[in-house]
């Protein structure tokens, strides 16, 4: 009995000391809160929640009214009742299922736009800009014309001149819209339905460029910073590539594989009309050339269980996804470390460009479209990463990397590709990120799930290491390390359902060249076996690839032709300002292509 009493007293003393220790820590932290209030993160959280970002308790809990706090959900409830009355069957009804609860349904402030959107407006079916982004990728096919021109001169005895090429390009604008050229009694298409269908030329030769009608040219000199344009033109050379955009409506009705068939057919018909061709031998060779010989499709074909053919998200290589991104094209092609050492404000432009592309394109393709739609049937967990991808949080945290690089890496020309060197910097930036979650309760609430924080911490680690070294492999190594070790050691968990498993596997397999285990980072994709079902990992791989390109001062990630093709100003979706397009769609100000109004009754 006496022994138990002594033990109880010791336990009480220990508990008292622990409580005192906690109080001391909290009291100490309060000394630094005034400094933290100067961070942009403070104002971001204050605007999002309308409350003190440091508050440990939610004074509005149970007072928000559930779904009624959201104007969009109120609208859905009203429209659901309308649909139910019109069709005589129940429709959307918030009374069924589990209640939403009383937490705040916080809106998203889209970074770089000052536009606030509701969560529901980031769902891919509600956001027409996200739909158009995917459509603009799926409807793109790039074909090299050099083989076809050689075939015309050698096999058909035709002369290829600037005049014949320009005639072919003008004819192609007609055939791409479904216009007939060889058989006039063929059915044609209402031009308003297919007004987004066209074709343009890419070349790296100034001589060839001067001979072409400028209306049909994607002009590298006008669209890219001179230092980037020079590298792109040198890589492309005097080859002539034709970028074919089939109608949005066509890929809505079929799938991405339709793009190659439509492009090959209309391209062949344009050649037949422009060069007066007849005879099956030359036409069959042209058709083969436009379908298979030096044809660049945006995505590889997946296996049967993953559905659909080429030009679909599961088959996009990560390098291509990063070449779709255009946010950096106005910046000089300089190494990030060199810029950060000279000027922090200039380095911030590179960092913002990187997060614009990753958050507005890579995260959307991976989490919203591939995982949230193709793989999961549209469950709506696109919001899992949207709050991380669209917000200013990533930019705010990256400012720490820029400051550290500017302060402590003066005179360092290149960060060596040694893990021990990179790990020091990764540990610093990840510790800073994790401490931000612990200092700002509202930030932990904003990124309410493990997948949110995996996406933020993984992307920050990947982009930091990749920008410093210029190596996408080192960037992905840093991401695996940050999630599987630093984050797990600090918080004892990462995401749901053992989400960290892939990251433990990723480190040992990272440098393997076997496609089912490793492969070059630029050649991996959303369907990569180790990460097929993992939220956020596509954005992390995108961060590694795109940041590495910016880090080494390159002008493209995997293909200079794909990079130039998506700089085209005639695209409906602006791949240079993806977040602005998504934000505009969130407030119903983005007009997509592929609508059927010209052939519908008045409504």
State the DSSP string of 513-528: --TTT---GGG-BTT-
Reported in sequence order, the residue ranges of 124-213 that DSSP labels E, i.e. its strands, are: 140-144, 198-203
Looking at residue 303, the DSSP 8-state letter turns out to be P
Which of 101-105, 457-461, 535-539 has maximum average pLDDT?
457-461
pLDDT digits (tens, 9 = 90+) for 502-545: 777 777 888 888 777 778 899 988 877 766 556 667 788 899 99
The pLDDT value given to residue 1: 60
Q: What is the largest CA-CA distance in the chain?
A: 110
For the residues 252-259, what does the mean pLDDT come to?
A: 91
CA geometry: angle at 515 spanning 511 and 516, to 5°?
100
Looking at residue 94, the DSSP 8-state letter turns out to be T
Report pTM. 0.91
CA geometry: angle at 33 spanning 32 and 39, to 5°?
105
* Structure tokens, 602: 């008045």
Task: Give the least confident one: 3-17, 199-213, 282-296.
Answer: 3-17
Residue 100 clears pLDDT 90, i.e. is over it: no
Among 208, 228, 227, 226, smallest CA distance to 217 is for 208
Task: Please tell me the distance from the alpha carbon of residue 519 to that of residue 196, in angstroms, as a whole number.
Answer: 36
The pLDDT value given to residue 11: 59
End-to-end Cα distance, the chain: 86
State the DSSP string of 344-367: HHHHHHHHHHHHHHIIIIIHIIII
What residue ranges of the chain are covered by domains with CATH 3.30.70.470?
140-297
Task: Please tell me the distance from the alpha carbon of residue 355 to that of residue 466, in angstroms, as a whole number.
Answer: 13
The pLDDT value given to residue 28: 60
Task: Please tell me the distance from the alpha carbon of residue 5 to that of residue 316, in angstroms, as a whole number.
Answer: 68
In this structure, how many other beta carbons lie within 10 angstroms of the beta carbon of residue 373? Answer: 21
In this structure, how many other beta carbons lie within 10 angstroms of the beta carbon of residue 402? Answer: 21
What residue ranges of the chain are covered by domains with CATH 1.20.840.10?
312-559
The pLDDT value given to residue 24: 58
* Structure tokens, 215: 């209306």
Fold observed for domain 140-297? Alpha-Beta Plaits (3.30.70)
Instruction: Please state which CATH number belongs to domain 312-559.
Output: 1.20.840.10
The pLDDT value given to residue 201: 97
pLDDT digits (tens, 9 = 90+) for 545-554: 999 999 999 9
pLDDT digits (tens, 9 = 90+) for 312-359: 988 999 999 999 999 999 999 999 999 999 999 999 999 999 999 998
């Amino acid at each position: 009995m006496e022994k138990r009493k002594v033990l109880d007293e010791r336990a009480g003393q220990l508990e008292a000391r622990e409580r005192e220790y906690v109080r001391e820590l909290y009291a100490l932290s309060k000394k630094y809160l005034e400094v933290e209030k100067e961070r942009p993160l403070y104002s971001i959280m204050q605007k999002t929640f309308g409350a003190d970002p440091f508050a440990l308790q939610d004074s509005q809990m149970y007072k928000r009214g559930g779904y009624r706090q959201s104007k969009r959900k109120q609208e859905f409830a009203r429209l659901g009742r309308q649909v139910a009355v019109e069709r005589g069957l129940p429709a959307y009804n918030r009374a069924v299922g589990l209640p939403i609860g009383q937490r705040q349904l916080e809106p998203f402030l889209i970074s770089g736009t000052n536009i606030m959107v509701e969560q529901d407006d980031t769902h891919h079916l509600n956001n027409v800009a996200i739909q158009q982004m995917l459509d603009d990728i799926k409807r793109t096919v790039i074909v090299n014309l050099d083989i076809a021109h050689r075939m015309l001169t050698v096999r058909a005895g035709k002369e290829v001149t600037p005049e014949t090429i320009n005639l072919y390009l003008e004819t192609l604008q007609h055939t791409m819209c479904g216009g007939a050229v060889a058989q006039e009694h063929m059915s044609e298409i209402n031009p308003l339905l297919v007004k987004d269908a066209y074709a343009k030329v890419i070349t790296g030769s100034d001589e060839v460029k001067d001979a072409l009608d400028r209306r049909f040219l994607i002009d590298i000199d006008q669209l890219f910073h001179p230092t980037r344009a020079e590298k792109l033109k040198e890589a492309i050379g005097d080859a002539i590539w034709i970028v074919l955009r089939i109608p949005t409506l066509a890929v809505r009705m079929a799938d991405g594989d339709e793009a190659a068939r439509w492009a090959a057919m209309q391209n062949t018909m344009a050649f037949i009309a422009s060069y007066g061709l007849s005879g099956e031998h030359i036409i069959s060779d042209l058709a083969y050339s436009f379908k298979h010989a030096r044809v660049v499709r945006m995505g590889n074909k997946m296996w049967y269980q993953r559905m659909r053919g080429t030009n679909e998200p599961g088959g996009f290589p990560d390098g291509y996804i990063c070449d779709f991104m255009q946010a950096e094209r106005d910046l000089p092609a300089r190494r990030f470390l060199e810029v950060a050492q000279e000027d922090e404000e200039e380095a911030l432009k590179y960092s913002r460009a990187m997060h614009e592309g990753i958050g507005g394109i890579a995260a959307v393709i991976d989490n919203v479209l591939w995982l949230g739609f193709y793989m999961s049937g549209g469950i709506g967990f696109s919001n899992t990463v949207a709050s991380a991808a669209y917000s200013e949080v990533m930019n705010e945290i990256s400012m720490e990397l820029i400051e550290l690089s500017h302060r402590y890496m003066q005179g360092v020309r290149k960060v060596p590709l040694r893990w021990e060197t990179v790990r020091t910097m990764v540990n610093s930036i990840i510790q800073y990120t994790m401490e931000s979650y612990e200092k700002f309760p509202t930030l932990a609430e904003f990124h309410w799930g493990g997948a949110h924080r995996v996406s933020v911490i993984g992307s920050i680690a990947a982009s930091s290491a990749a920008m410093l070294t210029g190596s996408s492999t080192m960037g992905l190594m840093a991401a695996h390390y940050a999630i599987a070790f630093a984050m797990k050691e600090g918080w004892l968990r990462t995401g749901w359902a053992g989400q960290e498993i892939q990251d433990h596997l990723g480190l040992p397999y990272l440098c393997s060249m076997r496609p089912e285990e490793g492969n070059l980072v630029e050649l991996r994709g959303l369907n990569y076996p180790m990460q097929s079902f993992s939220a956020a990992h596509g954005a992390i791989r995108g961060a590694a690839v795109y940041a590495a390109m910016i880090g080494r001062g390159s002008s493209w990630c995997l293909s200079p032709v794909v990079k130039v093709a998506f700089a085209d100003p005639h695209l409906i979706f602006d791949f240079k300002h993806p977040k602005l397009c998504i934000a505009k769609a969130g407030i119903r100000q983005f007009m997509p292509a592929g609508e059927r109004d010209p052939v519908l009754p008045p409504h």
